[in-house]
Structures are given as C-alpha cells and as structure tokens.
Amino acid sequence: MPPATMPHSVPLPALPRLPRRLRAAAPSWTETTDVCVIGSGVAGLTCALNLRRAGFHVTVVTKVRIDDGSTRWAQGGVAAVLDPVDTPAAHARDTQIAGVGLCDPAAVDITVTEGPARIADLIHLGTEFDRDPDGSLQLTREGGHRARRIVHAGGDATGAEIQRALHAAVLRDPWIRIIEHAMVLDLLTDAKGHAAGVSLHILGEGVEHGVGGVEARAVVLATGGLGQIFQSTTNPSVSIGDGVALALRAGATVTDLEFVQFHPTALYLEGIGGDRQPLITEAIRGEGAYLRDYSGDRFMVGRHELAELAPRDVVAKAATARMSAEGKPHVWLDARHLGKEMLETRFPTVTASCRSLGIDPVVDMIPVAPAAHFSSGGVRTDLFGRTSVPGLYAAGEAACTGLHGANRLASNSLLEALVFAQRIADDLAEHKPSPGVAETPEGEGDVCSTTSRAPIQEAMTAGAGVLRSEASLEGTAASLTALGDNVSGRPRPATWEATNLLTVATAVTAAAHRRRETRGSHWREDHPEAEADWLGHLSLSISSDGELDTTWEPIA
C-alpha cells in the first residue's frame, strides 16, 4: 500500500545531515548478558526486575548514578483506577480528551486496565504511598482528570519514593549487573540486523575508561526525555534524548516528536541558572491553588471548563499568552488560601524548595512559567514495546506507545512506564530470542563541537518552543544547519552529547514544521486551529545519506 499523502505538505527547510553512527574508537572490551536495559528510571528498573522474574540475566546501563534521572523528580503521582466509583472507561476518556484525537485506543485501554495491578506490584516491592487514617490509599486530582485517581507518596515526592523502592529491589538481585556513569553510543546488530547489544563509554572518578561493548539478545531503551534541547526545562541535565538519537541512527522510526509538553508551572526566578527548573507540581492546583496574572485575575476561569485543572497544553498556552500580553516573564500560582498545614504536610517538597529561594508559599504567591517537561512522542513501538528494529525495545518517555497522543494526561507517564515495562518482559519471555554475533557498525559519522550545546538550546527555544510558526521554525532550522557544520576534531562524551542534541532537535523541528495546525502541545501561531486533515501521525527516520525521511499515517 503506498504511503498516504501528507496534507498541506510544504518542503522541509534545509536541515543538518545526521550521522548514522557516532565517531568513536572500536570497543576495547566487551561483556555479555541476556538483555541490556539502557536507563535507570522507573521504566528501566521496572523492566529489569520483570526480566529477572522471567529468568533473564540483565545489565542496566545508566549515564549517571542509578538513583539519578527524571523519575526521582516526579512529584504528583501515578494515575490509576483505584476508587470503586471510578472506572477504566472514565480514565480512558480523560486520556483521549487530553490526546486530542491522536491516542491509540488499544494502548489507552491496555494502560488503564493493567495499571492498578502495576500499582500493586510497586506496593509489593515496598513502595510506601500516602494513606488515609483508615489505611486506604490517598487519591488526588490533577489537570484533565475528572476523578480522584492519583496515588502519591511523601506528599509531593512520589518519584523519589518509587525510585527508592526500585533501587533497593535491584540491588538485592545479584543477577542484575549495573554499569553507572556510562554513555551508550550506538546499537550493535548481528548479520540479520537484529539488535545484539550496544557500544558505550564509561567514565569514573573523572577518568575516561574508553569505549566498550555489551552484547545481548535484546536491548531496551529507557533513556527518558529530551527536555535539554530547550533552554528552560524541568528535566535533569542528562535528558537530551540519547535513546531517540540512538534509535534514529540504528534505522528505527520515531513518531509524534512535535508534541513536546511544556509544564505550565515551573518555578521562575530571574537568573536562577542551573540545568533543571524546579517543578511546582500540578497536584497543588488539584487541591485548589489558583493561577493569577499581574492584575490578580484568575485567567483560566472562563477559558476552560476545568479552569486551573485544564490539560497542560491549555494552561501552558494561556499562561504564555498572558505573559506576552502583559510583557511579564511569569504568572503567579496562588496557594496561600490552602493554609500552612496543608502546604507543609501535603506539599513539603514544593514548600521547602520555594523557601530555599526566598519564597514562602504560605504568604507569597509563587512566580511560575512554562518549561519543557515531557515528550509525548519518541521511538515508535507496538503494544509490547517492540520498535521497528528487531530485538530493540523502548519504554517510558523514550518511547511512543500511542498512549499520549498529542498531549500527555497528568500522571499517566509513570503508569505507562510500569505497564509497558511489564509487557516488554512478557514478550521477551514468550519469544526467548537467541544470542547473535554483534558486528561493528559500518561507516563513520562526524560529531558536533562542544560549543554547539547552548546555541542548539537557544535556537530551539526561540523558534520551536511553546509558540511556533513556519517562519520561526525555518529560523531554527537554519541555525541547526549552521551548527551541524561545526564539527569537533575529537570524539568524547561532550561531543557525542552535542551530536545527540542536534539529532533530536533536528527531528523535533522537522516534525513541528510539517504539522501545519495547532493540536495538543503543538501550537502553530500561523495555523491556530486543529484541522481534521491532520488527524494522524508524523513518523521520521534517517536515510542512508543522513537525510530525514518523513512519512504520514492518517487515522482511519
């Protein structure tokens, strides 16, 4: 069947030629395992534990320490149907409304149906969720949810508690090998093109240990998000889209990359600096906090039926528009009426973070502004986490399972990671892949200069951030193309990271330029409405000559 014709197609602007392999020395050492899991957040560690229960030996590779990454910063909680008056159908409906027509109904049904069992798994591992005096799980609401179905821990420290429990469980298992401070470079494949491991580079105590390889029967990408392609993000410094870049170089398909969710309430302080903007959890609005502009008006009232609890894209757009109209760098989150006891017991992390920066939410309004937070798109997978490359799987934020569509519903991210980590393990247990002989990838690719990182972030923020247009995206493309010509002479971690950053930024820019409508978290000022012709998915891959190929898949 020939590919569908893309609606309103316009030629892509000139874009950088992207490498099919990172330039690096041949692996000087190798080790062997059954399954190699890349990433140590909720998706990676849950998958590792599930694979062990299926009898596999597992190697977990992480770029930082095993307890670093985005999971521990997750504040709000995990969405699941645990209240007798709630239903999976209601959770599915809220998910699909947030996704603005682009959710895969099968992925949604699987997630909301299997989710409660995955919460039970976490509790069995020792995760201590907050409970009411009668022992039942406390449930709260967040944006887009029409029922209380968010379980949380430590008030607003859910990710940290889940990471603690998973970390402890992984350390108890002697057959899970952990390689920390290791940057994965490229996928290794066998003669049939099946994933057979990865090449990587280990650093320890500031000493470079050189390039090595982990050979495996299958590889799982659980590398997290890509928020660091922008200047302001809630993601940690390691979240540059390594998994998406690796998958593209390996010939895999990525989908829905234009849908980058900007969290509407990142803490704003002039000159705050740092690699990660502190997040003010959406759950604080779920408990009744207000958004106000500089005039004191609650600008979400009358804009959406759920006011401050509208889906994140609606709130982020409204905040950005109000900031632009007033000429101000932020709006205000007003939680003063919640009271000291509520703020200190239910939101201790937010309260302590604000106070450390001179803001007391008990008496002060909190300055907030949108920041890049979550990528709804990623490496395209099926309902068992399988990518288009045999033996390569993806889970968590690095994956595009079809659950989120054009905009993720709050607290569905941890749920998705838990559900699909189990399904990946189930698939591998059923099919038990045979070991292959890893071959050295062919061809050499350039690597970007270390000086490219900040200019890439600046270009993406200026033209491909919350507000986009054809002109702004073409400006970003021109900047990225110039930066792609800025080649480094020596391959090393900083240049590999810059190359991954350029690869992911280029793919996001291309997808955002192609989609000539506003839908979900993709906002085109020159095409301000959603259009029926664009009800479908944009997928990208890298051709053998380094060009981005785009395909259009309409929803029937």
Each residue's pLDDT tens digit, 506-541:
999 999 999 999 999 999 999 999 999 999 999 999
Whether 266-370 and 450-554 share one fold: the answer is no
Tell me the mean pLDDT in the region 151-175: 90
**Calpha distance 16→24 (Å, rounded):** 20
Say how far apart CA 254 and CA 508 lie, in whole Å. Answer: 10
Neighbouring residues of 207: CB distance < 8 A, sequence distance ≥ 6:
none
CB 57 within 8 A of CB 33: yes
Quote the pLDDT of residue 274.
Answer: 43
Please give the pLDDT value at position 276. 67
Nearest to 176 by CA among 124, 223, 220, 211: 220
Tell me the C-alpha distance between 20 and 544, whole Å: 7
Q: DSSP code of 227?
A: G
Instruction: Give the closest residue to 167 by CA, choosing from 44, 37, 33, 36.
Output: 44
Q: Which of 122-131, 144-153, 286-295, 430-439 has the lowest mean pLDDT?
A: 430-439
Which residues touch 489 (CB under 8 Å, ≥6 apart)? Answer: none
Cα distances from 371 to residues 2, 274, 316, 318, in angstroms, run 39, 13, 9, 14
Q: Indicate whether 471 pLDDT > 50.
A: yes
With a cut of 90, say whether residue 418 has pLDDT above it: yes
The band of 442, judged by pLDDT with boundaries at 50, 70 and 90, is low
pLDDT band of residue 301 (cuts 50, 70, 90) is very high
Q: Indicate the pLDDT class of residue 444, thresholds 50, 70 and 90.
A: low
Q: Between 28 and 356, whose confidence is greater?
A: 356
pLDDT tens digits, 183-219: 999 999 999 999 999 999 987 544 456 789 999 999 9
**For this structure, is 312 an active site residue?**
yes
Amino acid in position 100? V
pLDDT at 449: 85
Q: Provide mean pLDDT across the span 472-488.
A: 91
Helices (H) and strands (E) in the chain, counts: 13, 21
Q: How far apart are the first and last CA of the chain?
A: 14
Residue 243 tokens read as 């998994």
The pLDDT confidence band at residue 445, using thresholds 50, 70 and 90, is: low
Q: pLDDT class for 150, splitting at 50, 70, 90?
A: very high
Choosing from 52, 141, 276, 312, the catalytic residue is 312
In order, the DSSP letters of 13-76 are: PP-----SS---PPPS-EEE-SEEEE--SHHHHHHHHHHHHTT--EEEE-SS-TT-SSGGG--S
Q: What percent of the chain has pLDDT over 90?
A: 72
Give 309's contacts (C-beta < 8 A, 6+ positions apart): 141, 142, 143, 144, 145, 285, 286
* Residue 427 and residue 386 in contact, taking contact as beta carbons nearer than 8 Å: yes
Looking at every residue in the chain, the average pLDDT score rounds to 91
- In this prediction, residue 240 has a pLDDT band, given cuts at 50, 70 and 90, of very high
In this structure, are strands 182-189 and 195-204 parallel, antiparallel, or unpaired? antiparallel
- Closest among 550, 474, 422 to 110, alpha carbons compared: 422
| 450-554 CATH | 1.20.58.100
Report the CATH architecture of 266-370.
Answer: Alpha-Beta Complex (3.90)
Q: Residues 402, 288: contact at Cβ < 8 Å? A: no
Average pLDDT (421-449) is: 83
Let me know: does 501 contact 240? Beta carbons within 8 Å. Answer: yes
State residue 32 phi and psi, 5-degree precision: -120, 145
Answer whether 0.75 is exceeded by the pTM. yes
User: How far is the C-alpha of 59 from the C-alpha of 214, rounded, in Å?
Assistant: 8
Q: How is residue 225 annotated by DSSP? A: -
Asked which of 27-31, 79-83, 429-433 is least confident by mean pLDDT, the reply is 27-31
Residue 273 — very low, low, confident or very high, per pLDDT cuts 50/70/90? very low
The helix or strand, by DSSP H or E, that contains position 124, with its residue range, turns out to be helix 105-125
Q: Strand pairing partners for 522?
A: 519
Checking if the pLDDT of 272 tops 60, the result is no
pLDDT tens per residue across span 252-265: 999 999 999 998 89
pLDDT per residue as tens digits for the range 345-403: 989 888 998 999 899 999 999 999 999 999 999 999 999 999 999 999 999 999 999 99
Mean of pLDDT values over 26-51? 94
Domain boundaries, the chain: 266-370, 450-554
Average pLDDT rounded to a whole number, residues 463-480:
95
CA distance 516 to 11: 12
| pLDDT > 50? residue 2 | no
